[in-house]
Amino acid sequence: MTLARRLTAETLGTALLLAIVVGSGIMGERLAGGNVAIALLANALATGAGLVVLILMLGPISGAHFNPVVTLACAARGQFGWREVPAYCGVQIVGAFLGVAAAHLMFGEALFSPSQHIRTGWAQWWSEFVASFGLLAVIWGCQRAKAETIAFAVGAYILAAYWFTASTSFANPAVTLARAATDTFAGIRPEDTGAFIVAQLLGAGAATWLFGWLLPLPAINSVDSQ
Amino acid sequence: MTLARRLTAETLGTALLLAIVVGSGIMGERLAGGNVAIALLANALATGAGLVVLILMLGPISGAHFNPVVTLACAARGQFGWREVPAYCGVQIVGAFLGVAAAHLMFGEALFSPSQHIRTGWAQWWSEFVASFGLLAVIWGCQRAKAETIAFAVGAYILAAYWFTASTSFANPAVTLARAATDTFAGIRPEDTGAFIVAQLLGAGAATWLFGWLLPLPAINSVDSQ
Amino acid sequence: MTLARRLTAETLGTALLLAIVVGSGIMGERLAGGNVAIALLANALATGAGLVVLILMLGPISGAHFNPVVTLACAARGQFGWREVPAYCGVQIVGAFLGVAAAHLMFGEALFSPSQHIRTGWAQWWSEFVASFGLLAVIWGCQRAKAETIAFAVGAYILAAYWFTASTSFANPAVTLARAATDTFAGIRPEDTGAFIVAQLLGAGAATWLFGWLLPLPAINSVDSQ
Amino acid sequence: MTLARRLTAETLGTALLLAIVVGSGIMGERLAGGNVAIALLANALATGAGLVVLILMLGPISGAHFNPVVTLACAARGQFGWREVPAYCGVQIVGAFLGVAAAHLMFGEALFSPSQHIRTGWAQWWSEFVASFGLLAVIWGCQRAKAETIAFAVGAYILAAYWFTASTSFANPAVTLARAATDTFAGIRPEDTGAFIVAQLLGAGAATWLFGWLLPLPAINSVDSQ
């Protein structure tokens, strides 16, 4: 796969991911008649199912990271070239904003609008640490599994994490930045994004460090069967 | 497989698809007590789960298109004979209307009734473009995957697309035409169908063009493993 | 597998199926605060997920019929011995009643109570015809697939059929008889069971006849790959 | 796998399981506006999806028991060394309490708080017997299946069991003890835990005894295909 194709796939995948997150959030909130649990149920099911599909359809092209902390963690474990990290992270962020704009157009909103949704404080930051720790734990724990199994596991994890973390599990710096540009259900105040991203990096780092010991890579290469 | 069997399978599959879409919409609306989000949740889960099953059960016979833009896109990429396109599209439309009638009979409605549900405007058309782009992206992106994986991916995609597009993702001209014949939850005014179908063709065409470059077919034939 | 083990598995599986159907119906109705759609959503998700599990866990022992029309259809297509049909159907009915009693005990109800839930008329009977036609179509359409795929397909089908048929898809004579013994969410008046069972037999027979032509068995034996 | 790695995986998995159960219960209750069915729907979907992921990601390391009755049943059937049972059960209980604390921190609650949720009486105890019987039946019935299938089956079973048992299916002594330390949606009064655990042991024992006859282990070893 050429780098151009892989970057196109990362852009497209992250854009569709944000369109799903933001679009289903708007639809859920508009239809739920004020019951936030029903809106979040729709949001979580759409995001979980959508993520499985995006990873299945674009994984063979780009690896389907869609997430700077995933790209960084892969580089840290020697499974992705450091030289390509800036390009991957850059198009993930660009794609994320494109996806927000695509969703806003579908629902008749302005292209971008700064969020006023307050998400701050230790409980939220600890939630993002746990959410990102869990996401990377899933990725490293399933590294021996088939590509389809990893896709399904990541989607099912995010469905659960929307509900068991107090922050509804952003767990992705590109997603966090772009969600600051939507004043809808899924938004986050621009000034709250920094601490979220720090917590995400720490959580992902902790899981990567732990699974470096729990499931060392040499063992994986030698037991490639299943 | 003879053409007669394949056309029977396409008719049956599209009929059951419409029975699911329309029937679960009626049931959802009747039971949800006015909460549209709950009705759409039922509608989306039933359609997503039903699509997976229909593709699993009829895919081995007819390829399980159930959708004129899928048939056209397959022909455009040389994976389906142009000569059979009219027959496939024709029985898909016939099957779709049969399915609406079957659902109406189950719920004690008249066989057909023109919908009064307004679905028009740029936001709706852009939604149908995105919905159809995404559907074909899933199909072309998963073309190397196992048949079961494609079935699961299409169902999961539609579950998500019911929520993240403002039009609830028709993404299918046969479905669009037949849904004009039901004045229930899933309906669309007859005069709104034309623009929906144009948007679907454009979205499907864009995805087919993009994936023609992202995942060229020769590469697929030579890397047939996984 | 000895006949004793297989009959035990059919009894256990049908009992657990009814415990799931009746128990989740009671729980859903008690908690849903009068919103029937939410109760049916819980009932449908529990039944769909439960069916997948029961087929996965008992399929290797007894074939996981849990349903007289499935047993009869398998016999009609020569995949099950006619001599064992009465025993299979008998223990399915016994198991179904045991499951109703087990659910009633869990929710503090009397062991059995005749249902007062009216389910009659052409719309309901046509619904049961469609529901049973679809169930057997799934089974025959997926006959070449892996055992896990069939299990998943049957569960996903029932999840959809709870919503797209007006009768909530009984599609099973043993289930129908036993649900007459529960005056809760899932019940059916004893006098309404006969017509339901006739419709189920007709629907299952129609699908079995159609798929006998669509996917003839010799073709299956010779193309045993995938 | 060294014992240190396996015990770490059991601790981590049980902690994440409790964080999911307790956290999604709090989130569901807070958002559902008093509709307990919607809260339980979120709780059940999060727990079912989360369990699948935890078993997929940690199964290759520790076997992913996360449950003393599973560890005991495996030892009873000779698939796990009795010598390691105390360590496994010990870290499961420690992990469970850590998970409750992690969830409480995410939602701004005190680290631990004794539950006041009354769960007692024969209907509840019979529910726990059935829930645990079913869980072990799934595990033993699927023992020939692929690791992914078992993970999926256990998650789907728990999703169903949250709804079809009156106790919402604890089915796990470590989970039961730790849920006594949370005065939220998922809690259980400390004085009610003893009888729950007895019922769980009896149910798991009954299923293990039954499947010892239904699916004897020697037959499994000789038919290791599929």
Task: Among D164, D169, D208, D214, pick the best mutation site for testing chain C contact (most C Cβ within 10 A).
Answer: D164
Task: Suggest the residue from D27, D106, D111 to mutate for an interface test with chain A (most A CBs closer than 10 A).
Answer: D106
Q: Residue B6: its pLDDT value, please? A: 98
Q: Which two tokens stand for residue C67?
A: 């349903």
| H or E segment to which residue A225 belongs | none
Q: What is the pLDDT of residues C166-192, one digit of tens each?
A: 999 999 999 999 999 999 999 999 999
Here the CATH number for the domain that contains residue C90 is 1.20.1080.10
Separation between Cα atoms, residue B210 and residue D68, nearest integer Å = 52
Q: Tokens for B96?
A: 């779709």
Cα separation of B211 and B70, whole Å? 14
The amino acid occupying position C83 is R
Chain D, nearest residue to C60 by Cα: D141
Tokens coding A70: 């995933």
The count of other CB atoms within 10 Å of the CB of residue D33 is 15
Distance from CA of A202 to the nearest CA of B (A): 30
Confirm or reject contact between D40 and chain A (CB < 8 A). Answer: no
Contact B96, B12 (CB under 8 A): no
Residue with tokens 């919409």: B25
CB atoms within 10 A of CB A118: 12
Q: Chain A: list its partners (3+ Cβ pairs within 8 Å).
A: B, D
The position carrying tokens 């065409």 is B205
Token pair listed for A44: 């979580």
Rounded distance between C-alpha atoms, residue B125 and residue B144, angstroms? 31
Q: Which tokens is C84 given?
A: 């064992």
Q: Name the residue in chain A with its Cα closest to that of B34.
A: A33
What pLDDT digit, counting tens, does each position of C29-69 carry? 999 999 999 999 999 999 999 999 999 999 999 999 999 99
CA atoms within 13 A on the CB side of C29: 11
pLDDT band per the 50, 70, 90 thresholds, residue A82? very high
Q: Could you tell me if A179 and A115 are in contact, meaning their C-beta atoms sit under 8 angstroms apart?
A: yes
Tokens of A20: 């799903």
- Looking at residue A14, its pLDDT comes to 98
pLDDT of B223: 40
Let me know if residue B221 belongs to a domain.
Answer: no
Q: CA A152 to CA D75: how far, in whole Å?
A: 31
Interface contact A61-B214, CB threshold 8 A: yes
Verify whether the Cβ–Cβ distance D214 to C9 is below 8 Å.
Answer: yes
- Contact status of C147 with chain B (Cβ, < 8 Å): no
Count of domains forming chain B? 1
Q: How far apart are CA C117 and CA C133, in angstroms?
A: 24
Q: What is the largest CA-CA distance in chain C?
A: 55
Report pLDDT digits (tens) over B105-125: 999 999 999 999 999 999 999
In the predicted model, residues of chain B with pLDDT beneath 70 are 218-226
Q: Is residue D24 part of a domain?
A: yes
* Integer Cα distance of D199 and B5 in angstroms: 54
Residues of C in contact with D153 (CB under 8 A): 52-53, 56-57
Interface pTM, i.e. ipTM: 0.95
CB within 8 Å of C221: residues ≥ 6 apart: none
Written as tens digits, the pLDDT of chain D (226 aa) is: 899 999 999 999 999 999 999 999 999 999 999 999 999 999 999 999 999 999 999 999 999 999 999 999 999 999 999 999 999 999 999 999 999 999 999 999 999 999 999 999 999 999 999 999 999 999 999 999 999 999 999 999 999 999 999 999 999 999 999 999 999 999 999 999 999 999 999 999 999 999 999 998 754 444 443 3
In this structure, what DSSP letter does residue A67 have?
A: S
pLDDT digits (tens, 9 = 90+) for B3-43: 999 999 999 999 999 999 999 999 999 999 999 999 999 99
Provide the mean pLDDT of chain A.
Answer: 95
Please give the full DSSP string across B68-100, using - where no structure is assigned: HHHHHHHHHTTSS-GGGHHHHHHHHHHHHHHHH
> Could you tell me if A147 lies within 8 Å of chain D, comparing CB atoms?
no
Residue-wise pLDDT for D28-37, tens only, equals 999 999 999 9
Q: Is residue B226 included in any domain, yes or no?
A: no
SS3 assignment, position A3: helix
The amino acid present at D142, given as its one-letter code, is C
pLDDT classification of A226: cutoffs 50, 70, 90: very low
pLDDT at D163: 98
Position B223 in a domain = no
Residues 6+ apart with CB under 8 A from C66: C10, C13, C14, C17, C54, C92, C95, C172, C174
- Owning domain of residue C170: 3-222
d(CA B99, CA B79) in angstroms, rounded, equals 27
* pLDDT surpasses 90 at C120: yes
pLDDT at A222 over 60: no
